[in-house]
Every structure is written in C-alpha cells, then in structure tokens.
Structure 1
Amino acid sequence: MTDPRSEATRASYDTVAESYQRLVSTALPRMPFDRAVLAAFAELADGPVLEVGCGTGLITAHLAGLGVDVSGVDLSPGMVEVARHEHPDLRFEVGTMRELAVPDDALGGVVAWYSTVHAPTSELPAVFTELARVLKPGGHLMTAFKEGDRVTPLTHAYGHDVDLEVHWHPVDSVADAIAAAGLTEVARLVRAPHGAEKGPQACLIARKP
C-alpha cells in the first residue's frame, strides 16, 4: 500500500518497534481470556497459519509454542526486524494484509490479532475477502479487535510521536464483514477491558466452508 494513511502507519510502527516490544511483551500472561481463544484456535488450525499484522511476533511465537506451524507478515519493516531478532526460529516477512503474497486456498488458518485497528469499518469486507482467499476450505480465521464505534487519533504512543488512527469496530459489523467474505462464524468473545484498555475487546473465529 502506498496511500498516505498506510505510509503514516508504517512509519509510526517503524519508529516505535523496539519500545513496543519492551512494553507489550509481558501482557499476554495477564490475559486469560485471550490465551483461551488462542488455545482454541491452535486446536482448530489444520495446516500452516499466517498471522497478518504480526508486529514483533508476540502472538506468532505464542501460537508456535502451542504447536502451530505459523509465520508472520507485517506492514512495518521495523517491526519485522524486531520479530526476526526476538524469534529467530520463526519466519517473518514484510507485507500487507490487503494484498497477501499467498496463493488461493493455501492456509489452514489466518490470524488478524488487532490487525484491523487501523482500517475503517467500511474497509473490513475487502480486508476479510483477501484473508478468506488464502484460506483452504475448512480453514479458520481469527480476528481480535477493539469493540465499539469510534476512531481515536494517536499522536504519542510507546514513548514516541506517532501518526495513527485507531478504529473501534462494532462486533456485529465485523461479523457481517466476515460473512460477506464467505466465512461462517463459529465463535465470538466480547470481554471487559483489562488494565489500561479503554473499552471492550472482542474476538471472532470463522471457518471457510
């Protein structure tokens, strides 16, 4: 992607990559519901899994620890560099979830763990259509996101100046976008905010028929 918003997002994450890793790397052990849905997805995954918007590889590595054959892709070269350093046994590439360098029907699973927070709700059908394209029949998509209906501009995060827009998505709008992509919802979780989170968080799992 070369549009100004994607470029601003890429540049912001390049800037914060190392501090992001330091500040976020210890969060998952304090998130029992998040670990539960990741464990459920790990059981469902049948074949290779791709985490889109993988950041520094925290979720990719967690899934690998659960026995999943998983790799990651992220828009930010800086985040990918940190991911490769932190998890040298895993594969990470630079790329965009909007146009994956993956053949049709190739994957047993796709994970978009807070990867859609910088995409407007109106763009979700196109995003999920691309993610559905690379899933083989019977494969599963898991997406986690901030549940709500607002946009939060971020000018400072992880100790740095940034230029980001954080989109909160209504859970039913995400479910509708997933259905429009031809996937069937099999589970959803909406949980209360934890720690510094500013609102409810949600996760949906869907299957490609």
Structure 2
Amino acid sequence: MATDSRARADRDRWDAVAGTYAETVGGRTDSFYRRFAPFLADELGDPSGQRIWDLGCGHGWLSALLAADGAVVDGVDGSAALIETARARHPDLRFEVRDLATEFAADPDGYDAIVCHMVLMDLPVLDPLVDAVSRALRPGGRFVFSILHPAFFNQAPSPSGDAPPWSRSVTGYRERAQWWVESFGGHRHYHRPPGGLRRRAVAA
C-alpha cells in the first residue's frame, strides 16, 4: 500500500512541534487522560501482566502509565522526533517509528489490548491501522480508542463572549471532512462520522 501523500507532511509537522507537544500533553493530570482513564480502566481491567500496544504513542506518556500499572507495553508512532523523546524519557520500554497510515507489521495474536488515544482523527487513512489491529489482537482482546468530538474544531462556542455553560452548533456531523487545526503549530484533522468508524472496526 502506497503512503498517502498527506501522511508524510503530517508527520513532518508533528516532528517540528514534538518538543512543545511533549511538554504540554500527558500524565495522569492531563485533561484528556482524566476523561479517558475511567473508560480505559473499564475496558482493560487490571493491566498487570497484559501485553498492550500503544498506537500513536507520541512521546510515550501513556505507555509509561500503563507500564507503571504492570502492563508490558510497546509504543508506536509516526513521528521520529516524538519517539526519540519517548526513548529518552522511558528507556526501559520499547518504541518504534512506523507510519500508521501505511501498512505495517503486526505480530499475529500478539497483544491482549491495543490502545489508540486521540490519534485516529490525525490519520488521513485508517485501513492500515485497523488491519494491523485485527491481526495483532488475541482472541477476546480489546481495541480501545478515543477521538475528539468535532464540536471542538471549527465551531466557536455560543455565545462566545459569555461565561460558560456554552453550546456549539455542529454542521456536517455525518459528512467526512478535512480541517486545518491551529493547535500545536497547526495540523490536519480528518473528521469521520462515528458510525463509519464503528462499521470499519467491526468489519475487521
């Protein structure tokens, strides 16, 4: 499978902002993680002894948290700069650079669980990752992923000048879209309706 032309540019952007991203995101107090953690705990149960694949691991912060709870974790990310940071900060864990938008190797039945936290909306194509997940999960294994709701991109809160609570109007929720997001130096966001994500996962 040929590399999507957008994927290389996306990885270059993440490489360029890796330092800022690594100092901003991650840890048990991270706002996204605090919302994700209860769901992750429900899905994984006790991670001790589980072999877990962290796809889109960035600088390795979630891999490190899972390992601290007793899991055996392998991390993968497309950004060489983020993986370099992950290896420096967590030398006891294994991290690899792989383009998640291109077909990549997966050990058959190699993992009890696969985690993909806040990653899918940053990939121009999902088939390579979903196919790798379907090969790598052991029977009964869990694929746990999170995405950011499209209300948080391109829609200003209303009324924007007032104190919360706010509301946001989301248009085109059921339509695929590509947006430019200014956070972390700017990057593409690939919106996909959740129903389509579910169907693709089930099909695999």
Q: Does the 8 Å contact 1:110/1:140 carry over to 2?
A: yes
RMSD between aligned alpha carbons? 2.3
Residue in structure 1 matched with residue 7 of structure 2 by the alignment = 6
Distance, in Å, in 2 between the alignment partners of 1:134 and 1:168 is 25
For the pair 1:165 / 2:165, whether they are aligned, the reply is no
For the pair 1:180 / 2:203, whether they are aligned, the reply is yes
Distance, in Å, in 2 between the alignment partners of 1:87 and 1:47 is 18
- Mark the CA change 1:116 to 1:74 in structure 2 (over 3 Å): closer, same or farther: same
Report which of the two structures shows the higher radius of gyration computed on alpha carbons. 2
For the pair 1:113 / 2:136, whether they are aligned, the reply is no
Other structure's SS at 2:147 match:
strand
More strand by share: 1
Paired AA for residue 157 in structure 1: S
TM-score normalised according to structure 1 size: 0.73
**1:59-91 deviations in whole A, cap 9, x for unaligned?**
111211222111101111101001111222211
For the pair 1:152 / 2:155, whether they are aligned, the reply is no
Percent identity among equivalent residues? Answer: 29
Other structure's SS at 1:109 match:
strand
Distance, in Å, in 1 between the alignment partners of 2:42 and 2:99 is 26
Paired AA for residue 105 in structure 1: D
Q: Does the 8 Å contact 2:55/2:76 carry over to 1?
A: yes
Residue in structure 2 matched with residue 43 of structure 1 by the alignment = 45
TM-score normalised according to structure 2 size: 0.75
Aligned-pair CA distance for 1:166: 0.6
Unmatched 5+ stretches in structure 2: 151-172
Residue in structure 2 matched with residue 91 of structure 1 by the alignment = 94
Of residues 139, 142, 156, the one that matches 2:141 is 139
**1:3-56 deviations in whole A, cap 9, x for unaligned?**
321110111111111110111135744453311122234326574111111111
Unmatched 5+ stretches in structure 1: 182-209
For the pair 1:52 / 2:50, whether they are aligned, the reply is no
1:187-206 equivalent positions in 2, closer than 5 A: none
Q: Does the 8 Å contact 2:58/2:82 carry over to 1?
A: yes
Other structure's SS at 1:83 match:
helix
Distance, in Å, in 1 between the alignment partners of 2:72 and 2:78 is 21
Paired AA for residue 12 in structure 1: R
- Mark the CA change 1:62 to 1:38 in structure 2 (over 3 Å): closer, same or farther: farther
Of the structure 1 ranges 42-51 and 15-24, higher mean CA displacement relative to structure 2 is found in: 42-51
Of the structure 1 ranges 42-51 and 107-116, higher mean CA displacement relative to structure 2 is found in: 42-51
Aligned residues between the structures: 175
